[in-house]
Structure 1
Amino acid sequence: MIVSSKVTAVFHQKPLLDYLAGRFTYQTREMWQARIEAGDVTCNGRSATPYQIVRQGDLIACDLPEPPLPDVNLDYQIVYQDEWLLGINKPGNLKVHGHGRFLQANLIYQLRHNHTPPYPEATLINRLDKHTSGVVLLARDSDTLREVQVQFAERTVAKTYLAVVHGLPSWQIQEVDQPIGRLPSAQGVYRFGVVADGKSAQTVVEVIRPFPPSHALIRLTPKTGRTHQLRVHLAALGHPIVGDSLYTLSDAEFLAQFEADGSNTSPLARQALHCAQTTIWHPHQKRPLTINAPLAKDIQTFLETIDPTFSAGEALPSPK
């Protein structure tokens, strides 16, 4: 993998080694020196030495090994497609788009470049967090992208989520109407919460099935689309999502709760939140289009360890 850069003014008339070690700190000075001496670095297309003087505008090229792909789950499924749209069931632990180490290890790159056949025109309409599984919509042309994104902006898209929560709710169904805003950051981590001056947020919350002694499967229908809305509302109800590192119990409390359950299973490696159904107005076929995503395998397995009689079919939303 060839990586190139131009020398900036601050490194003008400095040794090449100073430039590389000072600007690209992901490798030590000794590592950069070894690469130069191995012939992996050129300056303006010519072999370079560690202490040759570089000037502003010089083109430095480095032949670096391909970085290993991050450990992600690429087992996505196409659950709907036509000539205008794609519907994907995204697994947990997969970003929808990439940067840095995740330049290739993301949904959009895989669809455009590695899928058979590829979908080079695929463009994200909506997004899910890396650790949320379920329905992701993609457009195959710019007109479709624009028209469906308008539906999301105008809140005419209906979505249903499933979540596994801590605790056994005392209610069957309720609508949460609590404003959400950003909380003060802690060690650079931004969280959201119920705050008096936050933005209006509403979620319908329904218990599908309790899993005694201390879990429940929940259906969520958001009426608004605030950041972390479902996670914040469930935490505010006293029933945070299993595996949610931002809004759930501490790691020690989390593990202690599993030990109290008498279960030998480990907590999920991500938050147990899944977008099970999305309904839009198809801009070309002029009809409602409902896309379903079967419950993610890791969540299903987690529930089966609590109650082996559980069937994923119990969690399916009602057909639209």
Structure 2
Amino acid sequence: MELSILLPETFKEQTIRELLEQEWLVPRKVRHFLRIRKNVSINGEPALFHFTAKAGDQITLTFEADDYPAPKLLLGDPTKVSVLFEDEHLIILNKPVGMKTHPNQPDEQDTLLNHLAAYLAPKNQVPYVVHRLDKETSGAILFAKNPFVLPILGRLLEKKEIYRRYQAIVSGALKETSFTIRKKIGRNRHDRRKRVIDEHKGDIAITHVEAVSYSKEKNQTLIYCVLETGRTHQIRVHLQSIGHPIIGDPLYHPRPKGRLMLHAYELHLVHPFSGETIIATAEPGIDLV
């Protein structure tokens, strides 16, 4: 695998060693082999690790097959892939409702990751999971297209630098149009599938909520949610905890009917290499009808 990256105008001058270790999070073992094999170049010329990289430079890295062993994935159906954004390093898809993000068993092949693997196979690329959506949730989801960019995207997610905005339809009329739910979430000891509010042993979870429109006839409200943390079932548990469960939620609504009305509508991030702001919108979304 060979990757060439043009350093943007905003790039701060640093050594190749600093760039690989601190900015691009290349594992120590892989850095070692890049160095001894002389598999790093600047503007087409071989570069040692003490060389300086600056804005406008073209950095080329050549990896051997054993630097990043490829995971084994069964190929699914590439026609089930709906692309919102794609470049050499990452891809954002519009996940259908009712489809798992990734397989839990090696013989599964009807998940979004399997279908994406089939889509990327002609390009000799393999997908990697950055984050996940519940099977019942639809919308924008980010994958890495190579193992090199995966830890960089993971760091953006950890530092809350990937913005995710969800749509949901909930039961009842909300008393406030804009508010924040801060309640810790833990495992349900009686049902492995579920999560519960657990202020003593749970993990900190923060969800920002904005009410958009209310249907008096259906007694339902369309809302937007922005996650400040990323706990399992966070939006679903938080909304159920304030008495407004999501319509169609098979785990947290007392009378679920139809699909889970939760959709990852927008995903924003600054591209880790180009500095470009990427905004992906997963249309058509959901609405009160």
After TM superposition, the score normalised by the length of structure 1 is 0.61
Residues 43-73 of structure 1, C-alpha deviations (whole Å, 9 max, x = no match)? xxxxxxxxxxxxxxxxxxxxxxxxxxxxx9x
Q: Quick one: structure 1 residues 92 and 184, their matched pair in 2 at CA, closer, same or farther if it must change by over 3 Å?
A: same
Equivalences for residues 46-195 of structure 1 within 5 A: 75-100=80-105, 103-113=108-118, 120-186=125-191, 189-195=192-198
Residues 162-205 of structure 1, C-alpha deviations (whole Å, 9 max, x = no match)? 0011111121111111111122214xx43212222122211111
Q: CA deviation at 1:120?
A: 3.5
SS in 2 for 1:162: strand
On the 8 A contact 1:184/1:190 being kept in 2, the answer is no
Q: Which residue of 1 aligns with 2:231?
A: 226
Q: CA deviation at 1:248?
A: 0.8
Task: Kindly provide the amino acid, as one letter, of the partner of residue 165 in structure 2.
Answer: T
Residues 124-158 of structure 1, C-alpha deviations (whole Å, 9 max, x = no match)? 21111111111111112222112111111222221
Q: CA deviation at 1:94?
A: 0.7
SS in 2 for 1:113: helix
Partner Cα distance (1:104, 1:91) in 2 = 15
Note the residue ranges of structure 1 that are not aligned, 5 or more in a row.
1-71, 255-266, 305-320
Q: Quick one: structure 1 residues 113 and 209, their matched pair in 2 at CA, closer, same or farther if it must change by over 3 Å?
A: same
On the 8 A contact 1:179/1:195 being kept in 2, the answer is yes
Task: Kindly provide the amino acid, as one letter, of the partner of residue 193 in structure 1.
Answer: V
Partner Cα distance (2:169, 2:80) in 1 = 21
On the 8 A contact 1:274/1:295 being kept in 2, the answer is no
CA RMSD of aligned residues (A): 2.4
Q: Which residue of 2 aligns with 1:57?
A: none
On the 8 A contact 2:81/2:116 being kept in 1, the answer is no
Partner Cα distance (1:164, 1:278) in 2 = 19
Task: Kindly provide the amino acid, as one letter, of the partner of residue 197 in structure 2.
Answer: V
- Structure number with the bigger relative contact order (C-alpha 8 A, sep ≥ 6) is 2
Q: Quick one: structure 1 residues 149 and 111, their matched pair in 2 at CA, closer, same or farther if it must change by over 3 Å?
A: same
> How many residues are treated as equivalent by the alignment?
211
2:212 pairs, out of 208, 225, 229, with 208
Instruction: From the two aligned structures, give the one with the greater helix fraction.
Output: 1
Residues 205-236 of structure 1, C-alpha deviations (whole Å, 9 max, x = no match)? 11111122311111001111112110111011
Alignment partner of 1:287 is 2:276: yes
Q: Quick one: structure 1 residues 119 and 208, their matched pair in 2 at CA, closer, same or farther if it must change by over 3 Å?
A: farther
Following TM superposition, the consecutive aligned residue runs of length 4 or more in structure 1 with deviations greater than 3 angstroms are 99-102, 114-120
SS in 2 for 1:142: coil
Percent identity reads: 30
Note the residue ranges of structure 2 that are not aligned, 5 or more in a row.
1-76
